[in-house]
Structure formats: C-alpha cells, structure tokens
A and B are shown apart, each in its own frame.
Chain A
C-alpha cells in the first residue's frame, strides 16, 4: 500500500541507543530471575535438605541467617525496581521524542 523506503542498515546514534534500551528492558526479567534463583543454592539444615553438599555446609555452621536472606532478597528486589524505573523513564523519553516516524522501522529491525 504505502511506499516503503528500504530499511536502513545503520541507525542514527539516538535511535541506536533507544533500541539497546529496549534490549535492556527485555533482559531485565531474565537477569532478575537469575538473581532471585540464587537463594535456592544457599545451604540449609534439617530434613528439607536435599544435597550432601548443603548438609556438609550446614555441619560447618555455614547456614544463612534470616536477616541476611531478607537483606539479599529485598536489595535485589529494590535494585530491579530501580533499574526498571530508570529504563522505563529513559525509553519513555526516547519514544516520546521521536514519535511515530521510526516506529515502523523499529519493528522491522527491533
């Protein structure tokens, strides 16, 4: 229908930055899931313990106190929120700035 210019291979610096910002938005949940999976590897004692390694660690007294666990989880959580807010703000600025013109191309190459 409309006459479409052939997609350009290289983008302007600004558009390039925005594209990478969207990549970061995409990667953030994966990164977050990895960080939040780390507690699964913490040593613990008691009947719930599955692996021999964990049991060894527990014997050595290397279990994780609840205050540390809370600190870790909530700091990771807050960090994710902060990064998400930052990316949301930046990508929102960028999108508002160059409007609908590049949007189509963005999807072609996005």
Chain B
C-alpha cells in the first residue's frame, strides 16, 4: 500500500514539476526561440482541458449507471471540431482580428460593445462554472480520501481542510501564471504548456488503467466484450432523446465554455492549427473514452456492491494491489482537475475583471477611461482577486452542497447553462440582423428557464418546494418546472434543453427581427459576419497588397481621400510599383504613421497602424473614436451638395448664354434685313428718277430740277444712313476714340438746341432753367451734343401737341448729373418703350424721317461716356433722361 504521505509527496512534486514546466515555457517564449510551443500539437493538447476530472473519474461512473450514453459528451465536440470549417474557423478568426479576450467580450463586442450583455454572459458563466470547479475540488478530495482510507487513516484525514488547501494551491498557480501579463492577446505560454503536459499525463493514466483492465484483468478484447454483454449494462438502453440532447449540449458547451474559448480562441497562435486539431482532438477524445465501458463493467463486477462507480479508475487498481498504477491514475485525475480549474479561473477572472470590476472601478474614479499609468496595475490586481474569489466560490459551493451528488449530473446541468450562450453566439457570427435587444432577451429567457427547469430542481435541498414541483406555482399545472406547458413524461435534461433552447433562440430571433440595431451594432455585425472579407488572412497567406489596401482605407478616413491617395501614389512611384498601392515597407509604414500622428496623435496612430500591420483588421470603434465617421459622412454629403449646386448654377448660366446667343443671332438677321431694306428704299427712288431723266426726252426744266433734287435728297439720306451705320459700328466695336475736354453744360445745350432747331419753320418752345445748367463737364462734348441734338430733334419731329413744348431740366441725383428732356406730346406707347433704343426701331412709321438708328447711337455714346440714356416713364409726353456720371463738384463759375 502506498503510504498517504508518499501520495502527498508525489502530489507536491507533480505540482512543482508543473511550475517548472510553466516557468520554463514562459522563459522560452520570451526569448522567442521555442517554436514548438506554438505547434499544432500543443494547441490540440491544450484543447483537452475539455476532459476534466468529470471525464476522468465521472465517465466511468456515468457508464456504470447509463451505459454508452456517456460517449455523447465526446461525440458532440468531435462533430464540432470535425466541422471546424463551418464555425470554429470563423470564431478563431474573429477572436484574433477583434482581439477578443473572452466569450463575454466576443458577445459584447458583436452586439455594439454592450456592457449589459458582457455582464450577463459573465454572470451566466460564473453560475455555470462554479459548481464545475467545486466538482474538481471534490474529485481531488475524494481521491485523497480513497488513499487515506486504504491506509486506514480515515479518521486522521480532514475532508474540508484538504479541500481548502487544494483550492488555495490551485488559486496560487492560476494567479502566478495566468496574470503575469496584461494583454490577453499575448498568449499564456506557460499555462498552455503545463496544460498540454497534463493532457498527456491524464491520457497515459487512463490508457494504462484501461489496458490493465482489458488485458490484465479480463484476458483480452474478446473476453472483455463478452464480459460487457453479460454485465448489467450489457444492452443498448440509451433513450434517443437524451442521446441527441446531450450530444447537442456537449457540442454547444464545447464552443461556449469560458475555458474552452480561452484555449481555443484566445490562446490560438495560428488558425491553421485547427486543421490539425480537426483530427487530432477527436482522436484524443476517442482514446479517452475507449476503455471507459470496460473499466466500468469490470469495476461493477469485481468491486464490492455499493462502491462509488465514479472512482473505479482509482479503486480498481488499488483493489488489485497495483499501487504504482493507482498512483498514476491519481495523477491523471489530479491533472484533469488542476488544468481545468486553472484555465477556468483564468478565463473567468478575465471576464469578471474586464466586465464587472473595471467598469465599476473606473466609474468610481470619475475620470473615465482617461486615467493612465496605474491602470495596468489595477487590472492585474482585479484579475488576481477575481481568481481568488472564484476559487473561494467553488470552495464554499462544495462545502454547502456537501459534495455528495453524483459527479455527472452537475456537469450536465452546467453544460445546459453554458449552452444558453449558443444562439446568441451563432446568431452573432452568421446573421447580420441579430440585435443587442434580441440577444439580451434570448439570453435572459434561456437563463431563467434553465434556472427554473434544471438548476434549482437539480440542486435539490428544497430550493423549489415539493408542491411547486408537483402542481406548479400557484397551482398552475402548466408551469410545473419539469413539465412546462403541460408536457410531462420527458427526461428532465431533454425537457430543459428543449424548452430553454427553443424559447431562447425563438425570442432572440423575434426580438432581433422587430428591433432596430444601433450604428455601432450594425458595423460590428458586418465586421463579424463578413470577417473573411475584412480581416487579413492567417500568417503566411497574408497578401501584402491587402495590408496596403487596409492602410489606404484607414488613412483615407483620417487624412482625407486626396491626401492619402497622393501619399500612396508618391510612394508607389518611388518604389516603381505598377499599381497605385505601394508595398508596405517599414520606411513607408513609418512615414504613414508620422503622417497619421499629425491628425490623431502618435499613440493612436501607432496603435492603428500596428493593428493592421499586426494582421488584425481595424476595429470600427477605434476608427469611430478617432475620426468620427458620421461627421465625415455629413461633410462628404455637404460637399456633394455644394458640387451639385455649383453644377446647376453653371447649367443655368450656360442656358442663359445660349438664349442670349440665339437672341443675338435673331437680332443680327433682323438687322441685316433692316439695313438692306433701308438701303434699298432710297436706291429705288434714285434709280427710278435717274432712269426717267435718262430715258424720257421732253422733260421740263422744272421737272428736271425736281427730279435731280429728289435724287440728291435720297443720296444725302443714303449717305446719312451709311454715316450712322458706320458711327454705330465704330461705337459698338469700342474702337471709338473719345475727345475728352473741359466745358460747360449750358454751352453744350445752347449749341445743341440751336443746331437742332435750325431749318424748322416753327420750332417748338424750349423751357430751360439756365441757373441749374451752370455745371462744369469733363467729357467728349461733341458726342454729348450729338446725343442732345438727337433727343431734341426727336421731340421736334414726333411731338404731336398743338403747342409743342420741350422742357430740359438738369438735376443732380446721387452724385450723377441727370438731364431730362420732357415734351408735352402724347408720348411713346408703353409697349414700344422697351424697344425704342433698338436699331431701326421707329415708333411711328408714317413720320419716319431717319433710319431709326438715332436712339441706338445715343445709348451707345452714353455708355461709352460711362453714363446712360433711358426712357422715363410716368410723364404724359415722351421723356428721356440722360445720366452723366462722376461730374466734378465744382460748378462752372
């Protein structure tokens, strides 16, 4: 018999070995030399923390009670791992690209970084895992007790104190190696390596016991099989519903258990390791369960009735006097328990500290996330305290529950609790429409149903009164905990899984469909569901151009598209690259980082560039925090609006210009036809009369004289017309040279009136106010006189009053000199007023004396002189106003 002291000694020695392995692995990893630490083999072995003491001891007990049903616990994970291409690959990729630290972190960041969800998942995980931890403590204690009993030292063995020391020791180990560094993305090489070693130990231990049982006690495979068929569990007795439900539960728990998430996703170094784990991990599970039934059958056969089947692995070798084998088996169970407890405590402490302790601590600090410096210290401290607290919880749970329940049943209950995370997780990975509200509702419904239908009834001890179990709360039969909605007769596990998972997933979907996600949720949803399009590939696959592209996208958001594009273009040209994306050489990355730090500060720029170069894609929150995306969108849309307004303005201008051109073209045609008409009329009479003079013989001298006069007059008129046309064309083309002189307005008017009135028999009366006319001028006086003469002549010609009279008044108006010519005739009809200044416009064709160019010439002249001539409405007769600008203030003295 191995002495109890030897056992303690071996046990301590084994723990010391674990310490050394973990310590050495950490040191090796720090030097970066130990590539084997990152091998797929270590990864696969670390996954084996799925096999806890529940597996090591409990599976045999399970088989002894329910036959082959125990195997479902391993078939579920096998299917999940074999189907890695469907789910695990995506999970690992997201975990790496989003720098996820735990399953609570993953769920929370998928649903818009919701802290409520993170806290919910954390609480669920703590409630689900604590009984599991106490289960491990129990198994270690029980195995101690077995050895103590074997040595007849049962009286001296103190149950509770040994549990206490075991819990403390495990807590110290977890604290020492689980919280050495802060960044959860830095792998805990020490712990993982220790776990891998323990995986080997427990496999060897179980295989050794199994081989001993099959070949040592039963005499080979064939006789073992006969023995199995002859045993109480020699017949297929598994209920189909339980078979499916437990397989499903195990599969779900494999993905959702915090410790599995820790080793599978957080500690993953390379997602290609999954390819190896896809066959290596199921192999491990197969080997672990290969000898379970034989051990159970032989144990039932050989050991005295009433012995605990959960400990057959240990008691069978002891019973046969194989102390060495028993010791190995003990170490196997010890390994299973310690590795599970350490990793679970680590994972849970990360969740508790990140999602519960730190938010509270920061809000008590009052200064929010801007605190710096001692935060790392606080985080580490809170994680250590959390580990201690979780171990304490496990310890107290063990003390309170009395440690009597069968190992397997509590394990299944914990599985069902953890599995409530599955709908939210799967929905988050594959369905962009999943919303935070849906996730919160689904989780709550699942959690409450699990509590009500499985955990509370399962714990027993009168947590739910017997009356409620029998006839439901308040006598409502439909709400009986183990027969919801009146469906009774189901196995409790099947019942709980069926209702909690269905209603969990159902409410999750319905609420997701009917609620609307926040922008951050939608962005995160897109990043998660389409992770393979957003993130860089695994190591070795990463195309460098993809990195450049990511850098480009990020720089565009921070620097603005043009600057970023020109920066990249320049670099690409410098490198001589073909496209417009340069290789992300270290120099270029440095340049870019400097460029970015100008906009967002050095630390942020470094972090952002680091994330991309480090192979993980930019998290939306980072970008949103740095360059507020919505603000950018607004700016962009306002820029678009401005551009479109400018475009429509230009279009309007073009349209106006086009109209003007068409008008001018029409005017030109009209002008040409007018000119030819005007020229033709005098030419016709000249030709007619000259033909008469040439052809007719007997023309009297008086007639001859009259005809020649007509010809002469018409020739004069023609000359005048041509002069006018020439004048107009000179004025319009701007080639006119002005002869600017100093003079007096009165003189100019005097000259104009006398010139205009010359040759008329009854000149109209002119009313003037000579005092106001004594103004000094600096202008082209001859041209000005030409305008005045034209206006006075027009009045003389067209005024139809019986007693024609023209008033010429001079005033100063807003710094300009205004000369009005107003007659007492009937004036110009309003419809003709707008066209009097057009060429060849004549108001009254009967009285037409000129070619209709006079006023057009007047306007041209006045515009040359920086003034204007306009028609003045509001008078009974026709009224014209001549405006002369910038007149000198000095009145002519």
Is B345 among interface residues, defined by CB-CB distance under 8 A? no
CB-based nearest A residue for B81: A84
Could you tell me if A66 and B233 are in contact, using CB atoms closer than 8 angstroms?
yes
Is A53 among interface residues, defined by CB-CB distance under 8 A? no
Shortest B540–chain A CB gap in Å is: 8
Could you tell me if B82 and A32 are in contact, using CB atoms closer than 8 angstroms?
yes
Complex: how many Å from CA A69 to CA B75?
A: 14
Is A22 among interface residues, defined by CB-CB distance under 8 A? yes
Could you tell me if A77 and B235 are in contact, using CB atoms closer than 8 angstroms?
no
Could you tell me if B278 and A26 are in contact, using CB atoms closer than 8 angstroms?
no
Could you tell me if B545 and A2 are in contact, using CB atoms closer than 8 angstroms?
yes
A100: which B residues are within 8 A, CB to CB? 537, 541-543
Is A65 among interface residues, defined by CB-CB distance under 8 A? yes
CB-based nearest A residue for B243: A40
CB-based nearest B residue for A23: B85
Complex: how many Å from CA A2 to CA B247?
A: 46
CB < 8 Å neighbour of A77 from B75, B237, B543: B75
CB < 8 Å neighbour of A85 from B225, B279, B549, B579: B279
Q: A29-B82, A42-B236, A74-B286 are in contact. Are A69 and B279 (CB under 8 A)?
A: no
Could you tell me if A65 and B237 are in contact, using CB atoms closer than 8 angstroms?
no
Is B190 among interface residues, defined by CB-CB distance under 8 A? no
CB < 8 Å neighbour of A65 from B71, B75, B236, B293: B236
B286: which A residues are within 8 A, CB to CB? 74, 77-78, 81
Could you tell me if B237 and A44 are in contact, using CB atoms closer than 8 angstroms?
yes
Is A11 among interface residues, defined by CB-CB distance under 8 A? no
List A3-32 residues whose CB lies under 8 Å from chain B: 3, 22, 25-26, 28-30, 32
Could you tell me if A65 and B235 are in contact, using CB atoms closer than 8 angstroms?
yes
List A22-63 residues whose CB lies under 8 Å from chain B: 22, 25-26, 28-30, 32-33, 36-37, 39-42, 44-46, 48, 50, 63
Complex: how many Å from CA A41 to CA B237?
A: 11
Could you tell me if B68 and A80 are in contact, using CB atoms closer than 8 angstroms?
no
Could you tell me if A73 and B71 are in contact, using CB atoms closer than 8 angstroms?
yes
Shortest B713–chain A CB gap in Å is: 83
Could you tell me if B236 and A69 are in contact, using CB atoms closer than 8 angstroms?
yes
Most buried by A among B68, B80, B229: B68
Is B652 among interface residues, defined by CB-CB distance under 8 A? no
List B204-253 residues whose CB lies under 8 Å from chain A: 225-226, 228-229, 231, 233-240, 243-244, 247
B75: which A residues are within 8 A, CB to CB? 36, 73, 77
CB < 8 Å neighbour of B240 from A26, A40, A63: A40
Could you tell me if B537 and A80 are in contact, using CB atoms closer than 8 angstroms?
no
B229: which A residues are within 8 A, CB to CB? 65-67
| Chain B 541-583 per-residue mask, 1 if CB under 8 angstroms from chain A, else 0 | 1110100010011000000000000000000000000010100
Could you tell me if A66 and B532 are in contact, using CB atoms closer than 8 angstroms?
no
A39: which B residues are within 8 A, CB to CB? 68, 236, 238, 240, 243
B278: which A residues are within 8 A, CB to CB? 84-85, 88
A3: which B residues are within 8 A, CB to CB? 579
Is B423 among interface residues, defined by CB-CB distance under 8 A? no
Complex: how many Å from CA A64 to CA B238?
A: 11
Is A109 among interface residues, defined by CB-CB distance under 8 A? no
Shortest B255–chain A CB gap in Å is: 13
Complex: how many Å from CA A70 to CA B67?
A: 10
B362: which A residues are within 8 A, CB to CB? none
Complex: how many Å from CA A40 to CA B70?
A: 14
A84: which B residues are within 8 A, CB to CB? 82, 278-279, 282
Q: A66-B229, A67-B228 are in contact. Are A40 and B290 (CB under 8 A)?
A: no
Most buried by B among A39, A66, A77, A80: A66
A81: which B residues are within 8 A, CB to CB? 78, 82, 279, 282-283, 286
CB-based nearest A residue for B275: A88
Q: A2-B581, A91-B275 are in contact. Are A50 and B240 (CB under 8 A)?
A: yes
Is B276 among interface residues, defined by CB-CB distance under 8 A? yes
Is B873 among interface residues, defined by CB-CB distance under 8 A? no
Is A1 among interface residues, defined by CB-CB distance under 8 A? yes
B83: which A residues are within 8 A, CB to CB? 26, 28-30
Complex: how many Å from CA A48 to CA B234?
A: 16
Is B831 among interface residues, defined by CB-CB distance under 8 A? no
Is B79 among interface residues, defined by CB-CB distance under 8 A? yes
B812: which A residues are within 8 A, CB to CB? none
Could you tell me if B79 and A33 are in contact, using CB atoms closer than 8 angstroms?
yes
Complex: how many Å from CA A84 to CA B280?
A: 9
B283: which A residues are within 8 A, CB to CB? 81
Is B86 among interface residues, defined by CB-CB distance under 8 A? yes
Could you tell me if A99 and B243 are in contact, using CB atoms closer than 8 angstroms?
no
Complex: how many Å from CA A103 to CA B537?
A: 9
Shortest A7–chain B CB gap in Å is: 14
Could you tell me if B234 and A65 are in contact, using CB atoms closer than 8 angstroms?
yes
Is B272 among interface residues, defined by CB-CB distance under 8 A? yes
Could you tell me if B237 and A70 are in contact, using CB atoms closer than 8 angstroms?
no
Could you tell me if A32 and B240 are in contact, using CB atoms closer than 8 angstroms?
no
A50: which B residues are within 8 A, CB to CB? 239-240
Complex: how many Å from CA A45 to CA B140?
A: 38
CB < 8 Å neighbour of B276 from A26, A45, A88: A88
Complex: how many Å from CA A82 to CA B282?
A: 10
CB < 8 Å neighbour of B236 from A32, A64, A82: A64
Complex: how many Å from CA A30 to CA B448?
A: 31
CB-based nearest B residue for A84: B279
Complex: how many Å from CA A88 to CA B78?
A: 15
CB < 8 Å neighbour of B82 from A68, A80, A103: A80
Could you tell me if A25 and B234 are in contact, using CB atoms closer than 8 angstroms?
no
Is B533 among interface residues, defined by CB-CB distance under 8 A? yes
| Chain B 578-595 per-residue mask, 1 if CB under 8 angstroms from chain A, else 0 | 010100000000000000
Could you tell me if A46 and B236 are in contact, using CB atoms closer than 8 angstroms?
no
B541: which A residues are within 8 A, CB to CB? 95, 99-100, 103
Complex: how many Å from CA A103 to CA B536?
A: 11
CB-based nearest B residue for A36: B75
Could you tell me if B282 and A80 are in contact, using CB atoms closer than 8 angstroms?
yes
CB-based nearest A residue for B279: A85
Could you tell me if B282 and A26 are in contact, using CB atoms closer than 8 angstroms?
no
B231: which A residues are within 8 A, CB to CB? 66
Could you tell me if A44 and B228 are in contact, using CB atoms closer than 8 angstroms?
no
Complex: how many Å from CA A30 to CA B78?
A: 12
Complex: how many Å from CA A69 to CA B228?
A: 11
B293: which A residues are within 8 A, CB to CB? 66, 70
A80: which B residues are within 8 A, CB to CB? 78, 82, 282
B238: which A residues are within 8 A, CB to CB? 39, 44
Complex: how many Å from CA A30 to CA B86?
A: 11
Shortest B617–chain A CB gap in Å is: 15
Complex: how many Å from CA A75 to CA B417?
A: 31
CB < 8 Å neighbour of A66 from B234, B272, B553: B234
Could you tell me if B239 and A66 are in contact, using CB atoms closer than 8 angstroms?
no
Shortest B556–chain A CB gap in Å is: 10
Q: A2-B579, A66-B235 are in contact. Are A92 and B275 (CB under 8 A)?
A: yes
Could you tell me if B68 and A66 are in contact, using CB atoms closer than 8 angstroms?
yes
| Chain B 250-292 per-residue mask, 1 if CB under 8 angstroms from chain A, else 0 | 0000000000000000000000100110111011001000100
Given contact pairs A26-B83, A70-B225, a sample of 20 additional A-B residue pairs in the complex whose CB atoms are under 8 Å apart: A1-B553, A3-B579, A33-B79, A41-B240, A50-B240, A64-B235, A65-B229, A66-B68, A66-B293, A67-B234, A81-B78, A81-B82, A84-B278, A84-B282, A88-B276, A91-B275, A95-B541, A100-B543, A104-B543, A107-B533
User: Could you pull out 28 A-B pairs where Cβ atoms are within 8 angstroms?
Assistant: A1-B549, A2-B549, A2-B581, A22-B85, A26-B85, A29-B80, A36-B75, A39-B240, A40-B240, A46-B237, A48-B237, A50-B239, A63-B236, A64-B235, A66-B229, A66-B233, A66-B293, A67-B228, A70-B68, A78-B286, A81-B279, A81-B286, A82-B279, A84-B82, A85-B278, A85-B279, A95-B541, A100-B542
7 closest residue pairs by CB, A with B = A29-B83, A85-B279, A40-B240, A64-B236, A67-B225, A84-B279, A69-B236
Give B residues with C-beta under 8 Å from A.
67-68, 71, 75, 78-80, 82-83, 85-86, 225-226, 228-229, 231, 233-240, 243-244, 247, 272, 275-276, 278-280, 282-283, 286, 290, 293, 532-533, 537, 541-543, 545, 549, 552-553, 579, 581
